[in-house]
Amino acid sequence: MNGPGSAAGGVARIRLVGAILLVALTALTGLKAPWTERLQAAWFDAHQALAPRQVATLPVTVVAIDQQSLQALGQWPWPRTQLARLVDTLNQAGPAAIGIDILMPEADALSPERLLAQARLKDPALAAALQSLPSNDAVLARALRAAPSVLALAGAPEATGMPLRAAPISVQATPADASVAPGWLRYPGALTSIDALDKEAAGWGLISVDPSRGVVRRIPLVASINGTLVPALAVEMLRVAMRAPSLRVAVSGSAVDAMAVGALSVPTEPDGAVRVYFSTHRADRFVSAVDVLDGKVDAEQLRRQLVLIGPTAIGLHDHQATPVGERMAGSEIHAQLLENLIDGTLLRRPSWAPGVEALVLLLLGAVLVGATPRLKPVHAAWLMLAFVLLPVAGAYAAFRGQRLLLDAAIPGLSLMLLFGVLLVLTLAESTRQRKMLEGVVQAQREQAARIAGELEAAQRIQTGSLPRLESLQGDRRIDLYATLTPAREVGGDLYDFFLLDDRRLFFMVGDVAGKGLSASIFMAVSKALYKSAMLRAPRADIGDIMTTANAEVSRDNREMLFVTAFAAILDLHSGELSYCNAGHDNPFRLHPAPPGLSRIEDGDGPPLCAVGDFDYRGAQCQLAPGEMLCLMTDGVGEAQNPAGELYGQARTQRLLSRLNAGLSGARELVSALEADVAAFSAGAEAADDLTILALRWRGPLPDVGARATAGT
């Protein structure tokens, strides 16, 4: 047959297909495709959702133009004199910088001169009064000039013709190659505030953010607007706060390496953007604009703070989704970026991350390709699960420990896909092999079915031959319980009990030499012959019954098997016990009073079938009311634990001594002894069949005792 060679060839084919698929999946991990970017983004967002940034300090205060401010000061937009009053009030507190997250590309429509131009006033005095007032924009310009203010600007998809101001930014290129253009974000034009305001500010910062599928994850620190480099609003606020004259950008070829302001240098991704590590929304970041104007905010709360003015009221601003699952106003997002820059808590996606992820996939996938065809499906599934969880745990640990973003989602899904293909191929190969060996397997099944049927029939016969414990439950004079546990499907132990008349109970326990099917058959024969001998002469001496049974069982015993047996007759009125022991373990007597535990030592003879014509002699003893007998086979004493140690008679006696005073019935004693043997064996294979029979004589019934006394 070519079975083994064919199986080896099948495994080789599976591994070849798996290796090809693994190489393809590894190559795909380095490609930027929409589905991989979405999966990566969801994986990185899950990190922040599970463990948002814990805020240690709050260096930024957001002055919110919120619903409370609109109700108190009127609808938006306010006259710019109101905004000027807010800037002046903040400036008096001594902030490090004031960033205004508001675009003002047109003159204030509420300014006096604008109103004068629109209205046809007949009152010359009123017109002259309006004309003499300074414009709202001039008032705001004076406030901006007096404060460390930073105005916002936004990138536009086309040229706007608006003047653009920006702090000087020096580019430090390595190597210095003017022909290589850095890959920062580019805009053809800019949307700025009117020149009257713009020229009075101390700084100008970009607020444009390109959400990735609606979620803000990355913010550019620098961008090019029609060839002019402009910093992000957060970076410009830091420059103004530090009184730094300029900014620096380090580039390598087309990649932006870092953005620096003063002594602070911030590594960036190749396009000049950074990944913000978001915290959940914090109400203590915000103060209401109307509270600032009304003097309800302590000046110390704003001193040397980075202050951001921005609209947060419903309908004024488009709140953006964040990775932590909360929508936040733009001013809060810029505040979180500032906190990241100051605390050094930005997330990093290292340039070497894709290579490491591909290498991890290649190594784990190679092990999976080699092991899956040889392992059971459940074991292979556990291996695959471990390999998926390993990069997941490593990536999460890198995130929590170093704030690194490593992708475990794509390698994990790739491993699951690889495992699925390998499993399908392995199952298909197994099916092919199974069909090749179908004839042999069918024959083995038929043979196993025959053996199982024979054993099942033997077990039913053996179990059916045992007496029913329920037959004595109504008798208040005795409490009897027994159990038989074969070492195999069937065994060679036996027990029996039945009433000879209304006052005499016969019971016995026996053990056939050996175990298994042959022992069970000889057990059934021996039990039937002994019961027949007992029923034929119910008034005979127990020794004579044992002699007769020995002769009956020994007849036609060509296999030279023998049986140990202890048989007894208990007088349920008087408690007199007549017994005979044919080579069996001596039963235990559990006395309710001293001496406590003892054993029956007399009435002995050889096992049945050992000496064909042996003349057995019985013996008698008197049981006290409440006294219990415990009979067992050598399956108790010879039980072994995994180390090969025997349960032994000494342990049996210690257990029975402890249980003697505490147990109230035969069932409890048998169950406790059986459980202790099972605990000692600890799953080791049973060395022999185990049978236990316990019988407690409670004493005669009251009316029976009275009649016996009267008769005497």
C-alpha to C-alpha distance for 519 and 540, rounded to whole angstroms: 29
pLDDT tens, 273-322? 999 999 999 999 999 999 999 999 999 999 999 999 999 887 776 688 99
Report pLDDT for 49.
94
Report pLDDT for 520.
73
Report pLDDT for 529.
81
Structure tokens, 111 = 């300014």
C-alpha triplet 131, 135, 141: angle, nearest 5°: 155
C-alpha to C-alpha distance for 335 and 232, rounded to whole angstroms: 12
Report pLDDT for 480.
93
Is residue 494 within 8 Å of 472, Cβ to Cβ? no
DSSP symbol at 193: -
Candidate from 16-25, 313-322, 568-577, 637-646 with smallest mean pLDDT: 313-322
pTM of the model: 0.60
Q: Does domain 456-711 have CATH number 3.40.50.2300?
A: no
| H or E, element range at 697 | strand 690-697
pLDDT tens, 139-177? 999 999 999 999 999 999 999 889 999 999 999 988 755
Query: Stretch 586-607: mean pLDDT, rounded?
Result: 89
Q: Got the DSSP string for 534-548?
A: HHH-TTS-HHHHHHH
C-alpha triplet 346, 350, 355: angle, nearest 5°: 155
Report pLDDT for 3.
46
Report pLDDT for 116.
57
Identity of the amino acid at 474: G
Residue with tokens 């008096």: 92
Report pLDDT for 709.
43
Please say if the pLDDT value at position 515 is more than 80: no
The contacts of residue 496 (CB under 8 Å, 6+ apart) are 466, 467, 506, 507, 508, 527, 530, 531
| Confidence class for position 199, pLDDT limits 50, 70, 90 | very high
C-alpha to C-alpha distance for 583 and 586, rounded to whole angstroms: 9
The contacts of residue 363 (CB under 8 Å, 6+ apart) are none
Please say if the pLDDT value at position 587 is more than 50: yes
Identity of the amino acid at 436: M
Domain ranges of the chain: 3-48+357-436, 60-343, 456-711
Report pLDDT for 155.
93
pLDDT tens, 114-134? 655 555 555 565 555 556 567
Cα-based torsion angle of the residue sequence 467, 473, 475, 480 in order, rounded to the nearest 10 degrees? 60
Report pLDDT for 119.
53
